[in-house]
Structure 1
């Protein structure tokens, strides 16, 4: 059994096109193109494997183009818990503007996942779960699945003693935050937290107050990612704002997933609040220096972690 599992029900092959500058309505000449097997859970698993943790990745793949996933799972030593169904996994196009550093995402529709396919994926996931397993439910749901899918999975996982880490958005996140039981940990970004709070959160203090409300809603660990402003971490042990270091950015693709991976690594290691916050930000900062869902060597990530400034939230 793996101590950490990730689930990706709507994976994607990420095609990243690097441009000197993105100017809408004009013709562009690409500097380079890279292709990565992606999806939030896959990205989290890749970063955890780079860190040296045993991890399994589960979910649903299209059998017709599963090759990139087969390759990355084998190369990184990630246990393969995916089921394959007829059809092709979607391709997502990412346009990286080298001038601004911004990435424009064009996400294509996913596979039409039937109830029987979900049943098979659920069974493949649950057979790997034991008490104490950390299970990351991450990313969007195929349009054919109901928003309650993650909430239903969380109930089954918690009954087996797993700790669920949720990184979702929209209706899937809302359904999970209205369910019983609640996830063990959630990682909304500012926009997702605004949707839950029902109002804009323009200042850090506003984000802090909404995050406190979410934690007192009954979720033991709440992390709010803030991009260049770092992230807020709230647990029973307190609340802190972790600030990212200055970083030479190669690609922002998967930075949020790396943050989740660092959070999971900290939880798995039993680190305290500050240690977990520093490790999560170090994962994200380290990934920014690499294309794709890849971390620098472990000693480099550890060195970054020591530079992360953490301040308490009042």
Structure 2
């Protein structure tokens, strides 16, 4: 039987998506629709993996005051709930979807604070779930109260216990994890901007991106995936590199497409897929999610059909 994937979300959120005809700052708007989704990067990834049929255990930190949307989603999708509850409320992220401009404006509200004790409880929870080869996703931002090197410490601990750690974060937590003298993540998925932040320079071409990804490999990251939005993604592992892309897809919502890509990466790892499989499935997950509201995928047959259409080229 497939090992369950463990996702860790230390700073989850309830995504409130408000759809308006055209966003005009300073004006009064009448919303066309409002949706609420239990979110946060790791929660979104768990949701997509569950839709694909992969067993998932979701853990991290939730506020006890508004945990109902998460509990409802976990129950509906068969996701094992191993979240720790803290006093207070999980943060709310407001996303304003502008139909005229076809883009989304994000307003992220403050959330819970956590301390070393809470982080330690999450660490012990995950260590109790691990078997050799278990994929563990560390995803998203860190809550107030935790140091920037929190992911670096968790990565070292979980890797020592036999996990394959996938890290999807940005800013100081990502920088600290990549600068760690301990074990580095098995896989990371920065976007172009995040990779430029790490490299300290602009990366305008595929050759620039590939050079920076190779630099991360030399540091010890086995698989580097650079998400490029509508242009697909760059996949680098071992001596190989692939650029995967699909024809343009009509998007109902771009929210969570990057998280869907991470879910596809992990699903391919679970199948012991090669780099082609990883590229096809992760691009297909991201494209399939564009046709769904919230962190959801269509049926697996639709995703497989998209995976078969992914164009793979070598940037070398």
Deviations 1:29-69 (A, max 9, x none): 11000000000000000000000000110000000110000
| Cα pair 1:59 1:83 within 8 Å, conserved | yes
Which of 181, 184, 195 is residue 193 of structure 1 equivalent to?
Answer: 195
Aligned to 1:166: 167
Aligned to 2:25: 24
Aligned to 1:102: 103
Aligned to 2:315: 313
Q: For 2:23 and 2:203, how far apart are their aligned partners in 1? A: 29
Q: For 1:103 and 1:208, how far apart are their aligned partners in 2? A: 29
Q: For 1:146 and 1:241, how far apart are their aligned partners in 2? A: 35
Q: For 2:97 and 2:201, how far apart are their aligned partners in 1? A: 31
Deviations 1:156-177 (A, max 9, x none): 1011100000001001000000
Q: For 1:203 and 1:93, how far apart are their aligned partners in 2? A: 33
| Cα pair 1:2 1:128 within 8 Å, conserved | no
Aligned to 1:229: 231
Give the SS at the match of 1:306. Answer: helix
Give the SS at the match of 2:276. Answer: helix
Aligned to 1:80: 81
Aligned pairs for 1:287-302 (under 5 A) are 287-302=289-304
Q: For 2:158 and 2:262, how far apart are their aligned partners in 1? A: 19
**Aligned residue pair count:** 314
Aligned pairs for 1:22-61 (under 5 A) are 22-61=23-62
Deviations 1:90-125 (A, max 9, x none): 000001111222111111112011222222222112
Q: Indicate yes or no: 2:118 matched with 1:117.
A: yes
More displaced stretch, 201-210 vs 72-81: 201-210
More displaced stretch, 96-105 vs 264-273: 96-105
| Cα pair 1:224 1:233 within 8 Å, conserved | yes
Unaligned runs of 5+ in 2: none
* Alpha-carbon offset, residue 217 of structure 1: 2.1
* Alpha-carbon offset, residue 237 of structure 1: 5.0
* Alpha-carbon offset, residue 313 of structure 1: 1.8
Extract structure 1 runs of 4+ deviating beyond 4 A: none
Q: For 1:54 and 1:237, how far apart are their aligned partners in 2? A: 31
| Cα pair 1:245 1:285 within 8 Å, conserved | no
Aligned pairs for 1:248-267 (under 5 A) are 248-267=250-269
Q: Structure 1-normalised TM-score?
A: 0.98
Aligned to 1:69: 70
Q: Structure 2-normalised TM-score?
A: 0.97
* Alpha-carbon offset, residue 209 of structure 1: 1.8
Aligned to 1:246: 248
Unaligned runs of 5+ in 1: none
Q: For 1:2 and 1:41, how far apart are their aligned partners in 2? A: 17
Q: Indicate yes or no: 2:128 matched with 1:138.
A: no
